[in-house]
Amino acid sequence: MRLQLAVLSLRRHRSRTLLAALGVAVSGAMLLDMVMLATGMRESFASLLGRNRFTIRVSPRGTLPFDSEATITNAADAATAIARVSTVTTVAPVLGATLHVLDAGEPVTAFALGVDPRVQGDYELLGGRHPTDPNELVASDALLARLSARLGDTLDVAVGFDPQLGTYAGRRRLLIVGRARFLFLSAGDRAAALQLSTVQAMGGVGRRDRVSLFMVRTAPGADVEAAQAAIERAVPRVTALSIAGAVAEAENRLSYFRQLAFILGAVSLIVGFLLVTTMMTVSVNERIGEIAVMRAIGVSRLHVVHQIVLEGVAISLAGAAVGLVLGIGTARYLNSILRSFPGLPDAIDFFLFQPDSALRAIGLLVMSGIAAGIYPAWRAASLPVAATLREEAVG
């Protein structure tokens, strides 16, 4: 009965109800986007780091992976010591370098990774095969496009340049055997992956037996924090970083995104609340006489309160339904813009849709609708019946 009366009351002023619902939809879309932004980066980054089940990154002590040009010395001994930790199942060494491709009229610079193709977790193969020979490499589409190269071509490359002599060091002819998507680089980055031993040899004596980091897998169900501590005890000159630690560090560096999401989400929720409150207050003012008659014939105050609150909730739910669709569409558009920023991994999503995020946004809107109806409902239920009827009759 109360729900029917609430629906009839809203249908009586369809244009006003529609405009209010659309306003709530815009507010709800922004709220959903901000909830997705606040949680999406964390979940997306954690998912990226957890690909291929690598749970720990080991870098030179006091640094983050590729945060500096520091390297881990005596890499073979360090890898052996890490592998001896009981819960460690795989140790994947990675060495970063700058690659100069000399075939073109002007040298083309790319980021090179020296890896063990059997256990690597830095790229996904899109075509061809892994570099199983020391004189082979896989390249990103951006590098292939820049060089106008394809699988089967050979490249004249170097990893060192002496600006005083104007000469390149560590030159070698390498065969392109695969196309790859590099998970931790942006789509437009020029990159290549070679065998670790090749990058070490091309870098000269100073790069022998060195790596930039180790990527470590632990056994399913193992205590990652305990493994992290054991690695640092086994190799004191390194820092072991778990996925949780890496995510926390990333959140510290990108905390302004979360702050922005919180501020804009709060603003959108407040705007929706004020919109529904204003609409319900206007509606109650127009129906003062009707409400007074209902109270005079025995309708309880609680009934009046329920009906008005239900109207606010109905507007909020209708707006939330439209806002859900609108929010997903705008999130995809905004995500495509943010992902185009240089230096961000191609696999990172800023706006990640999750069912619990949608439910959280809808729940906040419903609570806002309930709160928005409380003041108008209290005002309607508190009307002095006799005085109100007399004023309405005189008016």
Residue 380 CB neighbour total at 10 angstroms: 26
**pLDDT at 389 (0 to 100):** 64
Same domain, 232 and 104: yes
Q: Say if residue 43 is in the same domain as residue 67.
A: no
Name the residue with higher pLDDT: 236 or 165.
236
Q: How many domains does the chain have?
A: 2
**Is residue 247 domain-resident?**
no
Q: What is the mean pLDDT of the chain?
A: 81
How many C-beta atoms surround the C-beta of residue 46 within 10 A? 14
Segment 196-214 shows an average pLDDT of 82
How confident is the model over 253-280, as pLDDT tens digits? 667 777 777 888 888 888 888 888 887 7
Containing domain of residue 229, as a range?
62-236
Residue 8, pLDDT score = 59
Taking residues 217-235, report their average pLDDT.
90
If asked whether residues 232 and 264 sit together in one domain, one would say no
Residue 209: count other Cβ atoms within 10 Å of its Cβ. 14
Q: Of 175, 204, 236, which residue constitutes the final position of a domain?
A: 236
CA angle 69, 75, 77 (to 5 degrees): 155
Taking the CA atoms of residue 17, residue 21, residue 27 and residue 33 in that order, the dihedral angle to the nearest 10 degrees is 180
Q: Mark residue 87 as left, alpha or beta (left: phi above 0; alpha: psi -120 to 50; beta: remaining).
A: alpha
Do 34 and 69 share a domain, yes or no?
A: no
Q: Are residues 69 and 204 in the same domain?
A: yes
pLDDT tens across 140-195, in order? 999 999 888 889 999 998 887 766 666 777 888 999 999 999 888 877 889 999 99
Longest Cα separation, the chain: 102
Q: Both 257 and 383 in a single domain?
A: yes
Crossing angle (nearest 10°) for helices 301-339 and 2-12: 60
- 241 domain residue, yes or no: no
Domain end (from 177, 208, 236): 236
Q: Is residue 308 part of a domain?
A: yes
Q: Clarify whether residues 78 and 223 are in a common domain.
A: yes
- If phi over 0 gives left and psi between -120 and 50 gives alpha, with beta otherwise, what is residue 239? beta
Sequence length of the chain is 395
Please state the rounded mean pLDDT for residues 33-57. Answer: 77
CB 37 within 8 A of CB 257: yes
Are both 213 and 72 inside the same structural domain? Answer: yes
Which tops the pLDDT comparison, 230 or 276? Answer: 230
Q: Name the domain boundary from 236, 265, 296.
A: 236
56 is a domain residue? no
Q: Are residues 306 and 372 in the same domain?
A: yes
Residue 40 belongs to some domain of the structure: yes
Note whether residue 248 is domain-resident. no
Residues 204 and 261 placed together within one structural domain of the fold: no
Mean pLDDT of 49-55: 79
Residues 185 and 294 in one domain: no
In this structure, the answer to whether residues 224 and 311 fall within a common structural domain is: no
C-alpha 277/C-alpha 118 separation (Å) is 62
SS3 state at 344: coil
